[in-house]
Structure 1
């Protein structure tokens, strides 16, 4: 056997031996981070729904925010319950805000007033 063939055989055997050994475990997890990303979207089929889409989105985000703050023990249970109640009121008003695709100013005002109360409730525990 020639020297070049022997060299190729030795290198090939060394590579095969290297592949046969167990791989060293690697930690793939990063340090835990306390953040989350949520995507929220609202579909509008007419001009009235487009006008109230931000209100719907705000109610959805407020519910999630209240739940997150409650889990983190940054707001009391009573505040979270109040936010959920106000969000239900806002949602009911928004559902009634566009009969036949035309805006109902009273229903929109009720929904926006409930959203304002939600914002106040969520900001109160954080006030200096």
Structure 2
């Protein structure tokens, strides 16, 4: 088995066996990674790579929004509105090639990721 095949299997197994809280953090980790690469690609004038990564980031945010049950938590509607804002910023960033918008979304995504990571650690008792 090749190194890439082993890596793919490891990632697949990790996702398949991860608890929901860990899956959420993994999504945020990937979102931040996509935005970091998109921002760098925009700086390097590589619009193709930037667009691919921005689209993937949008897909992640849409998945986060689709799975958010706003009736369970009083902060749910606010988080849904924030997801809408992030999506709009990424659409505009992709249209205009605006790296600053990508960086704004990245900063917010990092804050959300860190908050969810801390919450997940508290729920599982593993510490932050």
TM-score by length of 1: 0.45
Q: Which of 1 and 2 has greater Rg?
A: 1
Which structure has greater helix proportion? 2
TM-score by length of 2: 0.45
